[in-house]
Structure formats: structure tokens, C-alpha cells
Amino acid sequence: MTGDNGSGRTEQSAKTSGTSRSTQVGRDQYRDQINNYGPAPSVITLIVALVIVAVVAITVWTGAWHSGASVEPTPGPATPTRPAPAPEKSRTPSTEPSPTPAAKKPAGTVPDGYLGTWEGEFTKPGEKATTLRRIVIRKGAVGAEIADVLTSSEDSLCQSNGTLVSAGTLLVVAPKLTSGIPSDLCTASGDITLRRHGNTGITWKSEGTTVTLHRPASAARTIPAQFLGTWTAQDGNDPTSSVRMTINQGTPGSARAEFVWEGDAHHCEGFSVLASISDVLRFSPETVTKSEPERFCAQTPTRIMSPPQGDTTHVEWVAPSDGSAPRAFTFNRID
């Protein structure tokens, strides 16, 4: 029995010794593996590796995009395209002739029988003073200024240019106001219709008024020499007052008679514009240019100058509308 137990302990000891050696050998091998290859990778190491791989992939993809490499975009909905317009058909030039515009009718012109100067006087209803109409007609076509128009009344002188509206059996003239003495009493009038009656006269119709005009008795276009010069007269209403009148050469609408009134307590200056030349001279109302005292001198009405008899002439204001007697002056030539 003793011999068997010793033998058993020997076998057990041998097994234990063998196991210890195997364990030691395993440890030695593991130590060698660590020395050769390092420790086994951890989870953090794996995550770092994945991040690095992702960064590299993004870098490569971005470089390819900027370098023009083909990158397939995600396909979206198809955009409809418009069909190309059909080419226009070439147009063949028309061989038909263009229509010829209708020939314009020649514009009307003033007949010769109307040419020249025409004058006439009339009295407006309810007035005693006469009004003078004067028109000088020139050659011209429709649309042209062919007339100088003048109207002289007791207290005004109005002048216009007349444009030809139509010409035929009748002449129609549209006047345009150019000046007035005084200006506040002159207004633009409507069209003037003229009709010729043989060689003796024409009828003027405008704004309900009809006047027969004739050629003036005097063919003079400027003031006859006998009227020219300086004349003086006494004021019959004031023995201390006198008036000096100077007639200057010119034509109706422009020539002037200048007046200077002198008295013990006043000094007045003014002028009148020539309205017409016939056997007498007709002048506009006087326009005051200087008054001493101020506002003392007033505008005086239209006046008529008779032909001089030697060195004496007679000047009369037209009959006032109020029915009072017109004032009259006898002038003597001093120059």
C-alpha cells in the first residue's frame, strides 16, 4: 500500500509540474506576441481610424468636383423645353404698284380784285361816335398772313394781323390782335368774312356787324407834307393853357402825333397813333406819357385833323357817346 501511494504522489507531482510549465510557456508566448505586434486594438482606436478614412474620402471627392471631374447629381424632375420656333416663311415682294396718293388741291389765293386798302365808317347802335374799319389786303395763300386790320373807335385803336382761312367767292380772314390803345379795350374778334361788290367796294361782316368798305379817296400811303410840322393852339376851356402838336411822317398804325399841354398848374405829354389817311387824318386816343402833377393828365379821345388852309388847321375830337359837344381846336403852324 505504501508503495502505491508514493507512486501516486509522484504522478500527481509530475502532472502539476507539467501544468505549471504549460502555463509558463503560454505566458511567454503572449509576452512575445505583445512585443512583436503590440496590444490588441481598442474601440477608440477603431473610431479614430474610421474618422480618418471619412476625411480622406471627402477630400478626394471635393478635389474631384473642383477639378471638373464628372459627378453625377441626383436626378430631379425633368424641365420641359419649348420647341424651337418655326422659321418664318420668306415673303415675296409684292409686284403690285403702291397706291398713288391723291393729288392735293392747290391752296386758295387772294383774288386780285381784293388787293389794296379798304375803309369804311359806321355808327354802333346806341352811339353817336363813328367807328372806322380799315383793312389792307396782300397777295397770299391759305394759311398766310395777308391782311393788316385796324378798328378805330371813340376811345380805342385796335390792330390785328389777318390770316387767310379760305379764298373763293368770299374771303375768310382770322384776325389776331397785335396792339391796342388802350390795351384793356381791345379784344380778339371772330373771323371776318369779306365779299367783293364789283370794283367799288367790299362787305365786311364780323360778329353780327356788317360794314361796306371803299377804297380811300386819297391814294397816299404816307402823310401828305401839308400836315407835317409843329402846330400850337389855345385851350378854349382854360385861357392859361395851350397845346403844342407835332405831326411826324409815317403810315397808319405807326405814325404819331405828339402833344404837349402847358398850364399854370400842369404839364402833360402824350401821343396819338395815326389810324387812317384820306382827305383828313384820323388819330387814336391820346396816350399819356408824362403828367405833372401825377394823375392830373387824362387820356383824351380820338381826334380828326382837317386839311390845313395855309398855316392853319382844325382838329376836333370825335363826338362823345354821351351826346355832349365835341371839343375843337384851331392850330397855327409854328414850324
Q: How sure is the predictor about 274, in pLDDT bands with cuts at 50, 70 and 90?
A: very high
Q: By the 8 A CB rule, do 313 and 331 touch?
A: yes
pLDDT in tens, 58-113: 554 444 444 444 444 444 444 444 555 555 544 544 455 555 554 444 458 999 99
Q: How sure is the predictor about 144, in pLDDT bands with cuts at 50, 70 and 90?
A: very high
Query: Is the model's pTM score more than 0.75?
Result: no
Q: How sure is the predictor about 218, in pLDDT bands with cuts at 50, 70 and 90?
A: low
pLDDT in tens, 237-264: 888 899 999 999 999 999 999 999 999 9
Question: What mean pLDDT is predicted for residues 211-228?
Answer: 85
